[in-house]
Amino acid sequence: MPRKKTKKKKVKRIKLKKKIYRKKVKANQIEKRKFKQENISRISKNNEQKIEIIKIKKQATEKKLFKIKDYIVYPKHGVGQILSVGSKIIGGIEVQCYDIKFEKDKAIGLLPINKQSHLRPLSSINQINKAIGILKGKPKIKRTMWSRRAQEYEQKIVSGKIYDLAEVVRDLNKGNDILVDQSYSERQLLEKAYDRILTEFQIVLGTTLEQTQKKLDKALKRNPTTEQ
């Protein structure tokens, strides 16, 4: 009997020693991990020269509607021509853009392709003929203050719509009546709208500047030599 007890005691001691050993090993492993993590964090904090990786995002874009050398109408600037199509980095984002040349302003504009809804193609021959019909009509002048009407005319001009431009020219046109006083702001709006339809008419009709001007002035019933 006493031998069996001693054997049992020995087994228990061995098991206990094994448990203690495993605990020590585990504790050592945990300490090693902590030590590594602390060292890594220290290195990252002390390392002043960090390499910053900049990711360039690509902006969602629409399918290209216009091609190089195409003429377009940008409402705020009038008729322009597509010079090139390429990508630009704007605010860390890669954006596909049109480079547009505006001959009248002697300027080049940049427009993202995903905003090409602001552009429109040149008018068709039928639209040009309809616009000429508007120019031949009688002026429709509202009985409101000039400041209000001027604002409405300006909105029509920046809309870029060929019929709206024709209406502005028709309503502000004084023909050859030199007795009618015309303010500076009236002349400015008339010239702006007139120049825009003149440019568009010339490109669509394929005529010279003089021929196009004669056609417009005939529709407006005024002397072509009259100053714009």
Distances (CA, A) of 146 to 182, 185, 195, 220: 12, 10, 22, 22
**Which tops the pLDDT comparison, 26 or 55?**
26
Over pLDDT 70: what percentage of the chain?
70
DSSP 186-217: HHHHHHHHHHHHHHHHHHHHT--HHHHHHHHH
Q: Is pLDDT of 56 > 60?
A: no
Q: What is the pLDDT of residue 65?
A: 82
Q: Are 171 and 139 in contact (CB under 8 A)?
A: yes
Question: Which of 33-37, 50-54, 90-94, 217-221 is predicted least confidently?
Answer: 50-54
Place of tokens 């809309």: 159
For range 146-162, the mean pLDDT: 93
- How much is the pTM? 0.67
On whether the CB atoms of residues 73 and 119 are closer than 8 A, the answer is yes
Q: Are 169 and 135 in contact (CB under 8 A)?
A: yes
What percent of the chain is predicted at pLDDT more than 90? 46
122-140 pLDDT, tens per residue?
999 999 999 999 999 999 8
Give 39's pLDDT tier (boundaries 50, 70, 90). Answer: low
The whole-number average pLDDT for the span 148-163 is 94
- pLDDT higher than 60, residue 1: no
Residue 179 has pLDDT above 50, yes or no: no
Q: How confident is the model at residue 227 (pLDDT cuts 50, 70, 90)?
A: very low
DSSP code of residue 139? P
Task: Report the pLDDT averaged over residues 186-211.
Answer: 94
- Given a contact cutoff of 8 angstroms between Cβ atoms, the answer to whether 97 and 88 are in contact is yes
DSSP state of 114: G
Report pLDDT for 228.
44
**pLDDT of the residue at 26:** 72
- Nearest Cα residue to 199 out of 186, 209, 190: 209
* pLDDT level of residue 30 (50, 70, 90 thresholds): confident
Distance CA 208, CA 46 (A): 72
Q: Identify whether the C-beta of residue 157 lies closer than 8 Å to the C-beta of residue 196.
A: yes
Q: Which domains does the chain have, with CATH numbers?
A: 57-121 (2.40.10.170), 125-219 (1.20.58.1290)
**Euclidean distance between CA atoms 114 and 2, whole angstroms:** 94
- The more confident residue out of 215 and 222 is 215
User: In this predicted structure, what is the pLDDT of residue 117?
Assistant: 86
